[in-house]
Structure 1
Amino acid sequence: MEIQTSSMGLVARVAHLSKYYGSGAQRVTALDDVSIGIRRGEFTAIMGPSGSGKSTLMHVMAGLDSASEGSAWLGDDEITHLRDRELTRLRRRRIGFVFQAFNLVPTLDVRGNLRLPFELGGRGPNREERDRIDALVAGLGLTDRVGHRPHELSGGQQQRVAIARALATQPDIIFADEPTGALDSRTGREVLRLLRSAVIGSGQSIAMVTHDPVAASHADRILFLADGRIVADHRAMSAERISEMMLSLEAVSA
């Protein structure tokens, strides 16, 4: 009997995953036989030089892109061959997303954006979920901003709303794609502390793609990719050590 993803202590995993674009002589290999899992209650950073496959790996694990070969699971559910409608339903229920571009709905105020994941699922938040939203709003310092629309907020405030929205449904895992990329260094550190506190405070699982060694230094685990393969898997590292790893990978890839 195959060992289940959950029995491994994982929230998501891929096995022998390859991803190609194009065909024949024009084929580009984005991922090459990758097998890796994201551990429950852990903050994982995914790093690598430009073109290493880190964003592609996240997109396949999140069901935003399909595998050319191999398999992907969210919990114990294999998602490799799910139809778009099934994937959309699964993502709404079990995955949270935080992107560099915030992806807030400009016509909705903060509270409307926080309610959106529930309403996309065909219902409003129940009492317990409303209480959770209120606690997130207060904890993230947004209480006096709930009636504001995104254009009335700073970049840091918008990213805090995006994090609160990702946490509101208590997803199995949050995928964060360069969440500090559009922020200044001080605001970026604040956002990373919020993500870190979600791991410590509620056992949240986070997988973050980043090119920033300082951002990655907040993680419990750091996966390094190069040329579509996992080339290193480390526990927490300092920003300086991460920079050294990245420089060596970029030198090899150059």
Structure 2
Amino acid sequence: MGASGSGKSTLMHIMAGLDSATSGRVWLGDTEITRLDDDQLTLLRRRRVGFVFQAFNLVPTLDVLGNIRLPFELDGREPNPDEAARIDRLVQTLGLEERLRHRPHELSGGQQQRVAIARALATQPDLILADEPTGNLDSRTGREVLAVLSAAARDYGQAIAMVTHDPVAASFADRIVFLADGRMVEERGRSSAEQISAIMLGMEAAR
């Protein structure tokens, strides 16, 4: 969390290997990604990182199932039986069973975000980067999306790094890092939305 320009997006891009750090080292698990070349980074992002964007970024010419299976297509393979079963579970959990043959333009914003989350979770990546994943959703749908992400972390051990301006969304996190001017200025464990709002207001007052 942090004000606009505090470095949230830059940090996320560095974590994903999309941007290079000017100093220091970046690790994903036991892999130092700062030492990888472009081809190795592409492979790492494809196989070990999932992305959930505020703008959904679904492929308009693919139906829901095609979008969910896209990471496997890009990797040049079909889902194995375990992966196919996981996709089936995600489709059921996210309530997409009746929408598998629909294109993105036939879905509501909340349904499109659910498809994006299913796509990000389908390969069971080590890290999911969520950039304002509830920013375009109404409050009820946003809470449903956050509950799905929480379940992924709890049930499958997937790490989720989320950028958000929303104290309610941040209250779902186990760890909250506050940024200002490119630096980490505060770190808290699980906190209520009210506590998070108070910290953000204090940071604004100190600027």
TMscore range, shorter length: over 0.9
Residue of structure 1 equivalent to 2:105: 151
Q: Is 2:139 aligned against 1:139? A: no
CA displacement 1:39-70 (0-9 Å, x = unmatched): xxxxxxxx011111111111101111111111
Residue of structure 1 equivalent to 2:10: 56
In the alignment, residue 126 of structure 2 is paired with which amino acid? D
Instruction: State the alpha-carbon separation in 2 of the partners of residues 204 and 75 from structure 1.
Output: 11
Instruction: State the alpha-carbon separation in 2 of the partners of residues 202 and 78 from structure 1.
Output: 23
In terms of fraction of residues, the more strand-rich structure is 1
Residue of structure 2 equivalent to 1:224: 178
In terms of fraction of residues, the more helix-rich structure is 2
Deviation at 1:251, TM superposition (A): 2.0
Q: 2:141 aligns with which of 164, 187, 206?
A: 187
Residue of structure 2 equivalent to 1:207: 161
CA displacement 1:149-194 (0-9 Å, x = unmatched): 1111111111111111111101001010000011111111111111
In the alignment, residue 76 of structure 1 is paired with which amino acid? D
In the alignment, residue 100 of structure 2 is paired with which amino acid? V
Q: Is 2:122 aligned against 1:168? A: yes
User: What secondary structure sits across from 1:71 in the alignment?
Assistant: coil
Off by >2 Å, runs of 4+ in structure 1? none
Q: Is 2:193 aligned against 1:239? A: yes
In the alignment, residue 175 of structure 1 is paired with which amino acid? L
Residue of structure 2 equivalent to 1:112: 66
Instruction: State the alpha-carbon separation in 2 of the partners of residues 170 and 199 from structure 1.
Output: 11
Residue of structure 2 equivalent to 1:75: 29
In the alignment, residue 110 of structure 2 is paired with which amino acid? G
User: What secondary structure sits across from 2:115 in the alignment?
Assistant: helix
CA displacement 1:1-22 (0-9 Å, x = unmatched): xxxxxxxxxxxxxxxxxxxxxx
Instruction: State the alpha-carbon separation in 1 of the partners of residues 183 and 88 from structure 2.
Output: 42
- C-alpha root-mean-square deviation of aligned residues, in Å? 1.0
User: What secondary structure sits across from 2:24 in the alignment?
Assistant: strand
User: What secondary structure sits across from 1:222 in the alignment?
Assistant: strand
Q: Is 2:48 aligned against 1:100? A: no
User: What secondary structure sits across from 1:161 in the alignment?
Assistant: helix
- Which 10-residue stretch deviates more, 238-247 or 79-88? 79-88
Instruction: State the alpha-carbon separation in 2 of the partners of residues 94 and 202 from structure 1.
Output: 14
Deviation at 1:82, TM superposition (A): 2.1
In the alignment, residue 112 of structure 2 is paired with which amino acid? Q
Residue of structure 1 equivalent to 2:42: 88
Identity %: 73
- In structure 1, stretches of 5+ residues that fail to align are 1-46
Instruction: State the alpha-carbon separation in 1 of the partners of residues 10 and 203 from structure 2.
Output: 18
Residue of structure 2 equivalent to 1:249: 203
Count of matched residue positions in the alignment of Structure 1 and Structure 2: 207
